[in-house]
Structure 1
């Protein structure tokens, strides 16, 4: 008589082992795709797992020193399309490589980032991908000491031994500013992002570098903080206009702020690009459908998430990863928000 089925919620590795008439260790080897089990026994165990619709308890497996098959992703926000595309890249690649995603958001809050970094451990995830604003060396040390493999996205750690996937933000910002200069613009305003964000600082440096190359004087009155959001980009542009400083172009450090800037300019009766040209950064989906379609710097957002997972899974599998810092390139996307003067 076939063994009586056990309810899925109570099913354990021991139950699978008893039904298959093998040891618990053998079942564990099959669940974790380890060698040392014959094809016949491996097939038998997999059939039993499928028949009983067994779902492993990831936490229990993690505590037992086995793989949880979960990857953790720490990210500032999920509503912004930039981060949404990062998540897509991480999730699709994780699933393709046999891992599930455990996502936690920090809302770009320093205290929350610290809590999340401390929260993740080997019983929850096999590895961790981190995007954060306020990371300090002590929290990097906590991750290192925990033994959990981890990879940073868009954060350049001081320690050259730490794995990271970056975009050449400075080069992209330099290209955006130089593009506006090539159209005849000399007075170019800059909308910066979060004060603590590394990529915002790098984009500002690229903007200043382009001005210096063409011997244009940097005017601090043409810089306003838009904190990477449409609303703040709108308000920052209003502040620029209230100063009565002359400018014919705006370089916004992301597309969200550029979209907010277009709205503010239109409210003041100014036309884009006839009166003011605008370049954004990121190439999010909305940049191609607003009016006018936004000229922007495209960064490989999806690819960043994909690359981070590929590196992390190799680290989880204890494979050698020689290149610790992956630097991805940006490219200019010309649309209709800029005009030659």
Structure 2
């Protein structure tokens, strides 16, 4: 069995130095760190996780809270974060916080009771003051897809406004002048940002913002269906729809199909998130790519930097991109 002693002899350093490297201490020179890491790899040394946790007061685990465990969006986030943590020798402890403040708070307290070393939170319902209080208690926290002004160096966000702008600009470029918008719940910052991007694109193009063409939904297929029914019943004509996530776009598409309207021949459609199913629809859904893997990677990197008290070079603001498929019709020469 390979021990710390064997690693120290192979690396030519003390056992204390090996221990510091394993526990992420910054009190080791880069040269010695590389020697130790090389020796560990060559010898196939695996630290005793129980002894290591006792020595460092760490559990080598990171708690993750998301609203729900199902669905391609959250499952993609969880899979990516868990994979990144595992590569670094950490375990992920995952819990669903539902969509209420109380349940999300209970999820956080559950993880803290399990003595996780850090928290990665995708939560919109938790109060800013509660999160600030946790950070002031010295708990390493990373917020994803959310910004709390007092915790800017702990927040990794996507530029939701830029995404809404991209989606609507593309529809305008393709000749559409009457563009409806199905928003997410406007008590959530990401939904507000995407709506703001939609409004900005209209303003930049000299097009009037019309509240009759905006319908609020809940980031689900069912609410997307309800929102589309409302838009159709209002009798305000439109040739295109920007849905603020792909699930709502799927629901909207089903309603259009049920009333005999075709995508994109009758109504063009753009979503947001670029979940896996979007590419397999017929026609494929044009959408905004949410860089889930990049966000997850940056969140894990920031968590480890906080644990080891290292300076962070994390990208805190991620930029979305447009994925063009076949759900938008060019109407420039037909209007």
Counterpart of 1:142 (choices 133, 137, 148) is: 133
User: 1:56, CA displacement in angstroms?
Assistant: 2.7
Distance 1:48 1:161, change over 3 A: closer
Counterpart of 2:123 (choices 126, 129, 132) is: 132
CA distance in structure 2 between the aligned counterparts of 1:73 and 1:158, rounded to whole angstroms: 21
Q: Mean Cα displacement is larger for which, 94-103 or 128-137?
A: 128-137
User: 1:122, CA displacement in angstroms?
Assistant: 7.6
Is 1:329 matched up with 2:323?
Answer: no
Distance 1:49 1:131, change over 3 A: closer
In structure 2, what is the equivalent of residue 266 of structure 1? 257
CA distance in structure 2 between the aligned counterparts of 1:108 and 1:139, rounded to whole angstroms: 16
Distance 1:112 1:179, change over 3 A: same
After superposition, the C-alpha distances for 1:208-238 in whole angstroms (9 at most, x for unaligned) are 0111111111111111122100111112111
Retained in 1: the 8 A contact 2:246–2:274? yes
In structure 2, what is the equivalent of residue 12 of structure 1? none
CA distance in structure 2 between the aligned counterparts of 1:164 and 1:201, rounded to whole angstroms: 17
User: 1:85, CA displacement in angstroms?
Assistant: 1.2
Counterpart of 2:186 (choices 182, 195, 198) is: 195
User: 1:333, CA displacement in angstroms?
Assistant: 0.8
Retained in 1: the 8 A contact 2:287–2:324? yes
In structure 1, what is the equivalent of residue 157 of structure 2? 166
Counterpart of 1:33 (choices 22, 28, 40) is: 22
In structure 1, what is the equivalent of residue 10 of structure 2? none
CA distance in structure 2 between the aligned counterparts of 1:334 and 1:141, rounded to whole angstroms: 40
Where 2:215 maps in the other structure, the secondary structure is strand
Retained in 2: the 8 A contact 1:88–1:302? no
TM-score normalised per structure 2: 0.83
CA distance in structure 1 between the aligned counterparts of 2:248 and 2:51, rounded to whole angstroms: 44
**Which of the two has higher C-alpha Rg?**
1
What pairs with 1:1-341 in structure 2 (closer than 5 Å)? 33-34=22-23, 56=50, 61=53, 66-121=57-112, 124-321=115-312, 326-341=316-331
CA distance in structure 2 between the aligned counterparts of 1:303 and 1:227, rounded to whole angstroms: 25
CA distance in structure 2 between the aligned counterparts of 1:173 and 1:298, rounded to whole angstroms: 11
User: 1:159, CA displacement in angstroms?
Assistant: 1.1
Distance 1:33 1:171, change over 3 A: same
In structure 1, what is the equivalent of residue 11 of structure 2? none
User: 1:302, CA displacement in angstroms?
Assistant: 1.4
After superposition, the C-alpha distances for 1:217-260 in whole angstroms (9 at most, x for unaligned) are 11111111221001111121111111111010000000110011
User: 1:119, CA displacement in angstroms?
Assistant: 3.5
User: 1:299, CA displacement in angstroms?
Assistant: 1.7
Distance 1:48 1:141, change over 3 A: closer
Retained in 2: the 8 A contact 1:131–1:154? yes
Where 1:186 maps in the other structure, the secondary structure is coil
Where 1:315 maps in the other structure, the secondary structure is helix
After superposition, the C-alpha distances for 1:252-297 in whole angstroms (9 at most, x for unaligned) are 0001100111111000000100000000001000000012110001
Distance 1:269 1:99, change over 3 A: same
Structure 1 unaligned blocks of 5 or more: 1-15, 17-25
Where 1:260 maps in the other structure, the secondary structure is helix
After superposition, the C-alpha distances for 1:170-205 in whole angstroms (9 at most, x for unaligned) are 011101101101111111110111222111000000
Retained in 2: the 8 A contact 1:122–1:148? no
Retained in 1: the 8 A contact 2:132–2:150? no
Distance 1:230 1:48, change over 3 A: closer
CA distance in structure 2 between the aligned counterparts of 1:340 and 1:300, rounded to whole angstroms: 27
CA distance in structure 1 between the aligned counterparts of 2:133 and 2:94, rounded to whole angstroms: 19
User: 1:48, CA displacement in angstroms?
Assistant: 11
Where 1:282 maps in the other structure, the secondary structure is coil
Q: In angstroms, what is the RMSD of aligned CA positions? A: 2.8
